[in-house]
C-alpha cells in the first residue's frame, strides 16, 4: 500500500497563500463595493477554505467517496439555507394578509 506524502513545499506554499489571502480580505474590507462586498469577502473565504480542504486535508488525493461526502455536506447546507431564506425573502410577496 502507498500513502501519499505531500511534499513539505506544498504545505508552506498553501500557508503563504492563506496568509496573503487573509491580509487581502482585511484590506479589501476598507473599500465599499456595495452589493459586491459580500461576494468578495465570501469569495476569498471560499478560496482559503478550498486550499485547506484540498491540500491540508488531502482531499485532492482522496477517494471519490470522500469527495462525494464533502460535496454532499455543502449541498445539504445549501438546501437548508435556500429553503429557509425562501421564506424570509418572500414574506409579504403574495399580498396575503398577515403573510
Integer Cα distance of 17 and 47 in angstroms: 10
Does residue 13 bind another protein (CB under 8 A)?
no
Selected from 39, 60, 61, 90, the binder of another protein by CB under 8 A is 90
The helix or strand, by DSSP H or E, that contains position 37, with its residue range, turns out to be helix 36-51
Does residue 42 bind another protein (CB under 8 A)?
yes
Number of residues that bind another protein (CB under 8 A): 60
Selected from 36, 57, 60, 61, the binder of another protein by CB under 8 A is 57
Q: CA 29, 20, 15, 64: dihedral to nearest 10 degrees? A: 60
> Count of CB atoms within 10 A of residue 55's CB?
19
Q: Note the maximum CA span of the chain.
A: 66
What cell was used for 88? 424570509
List contacts with another protein (CB under 8 A).
1, 3, 5-6, 8, 11-12, 14-15, 18-19, 22-23, 25-26, 29-32, 37, 41-42, 44-45, 48-49, 52-53, 55-57, 62-63, 65-66, 69-70, 72-74, 76-77, 79-81, 83-94, 96, 98-99
Amino acid at each position: 500500500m502507498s500513502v501519499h506524502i505531500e511534499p513539505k513545499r506544498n504545505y508552506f506554499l498553501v500557508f503563504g497563500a492563506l496568509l496573503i489571502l487573509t491580509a487581502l480580505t482585511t484590506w479589501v474590507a476598507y473599500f465599499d463595493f456595495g452589493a459586491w462586498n459580500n461576494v468578495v469577502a465570501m469569495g476569498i473565504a471560499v478560496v482559503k477554505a478550498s486550499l485547506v480542504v484540498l491540500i491540508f486535508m488531502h482531499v485532492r488525493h482522496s477517494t471519490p467517496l470522500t469527495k462525494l461526502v464533502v460535496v454532499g455536506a455543502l449541498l445539504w447546507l445549501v438546501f437548508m439555507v435556500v429553503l429557509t431564506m425562501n421564506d424570509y425573502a418572500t414574506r409579504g410577496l403574495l399580498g396575503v394578509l398577515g403573510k
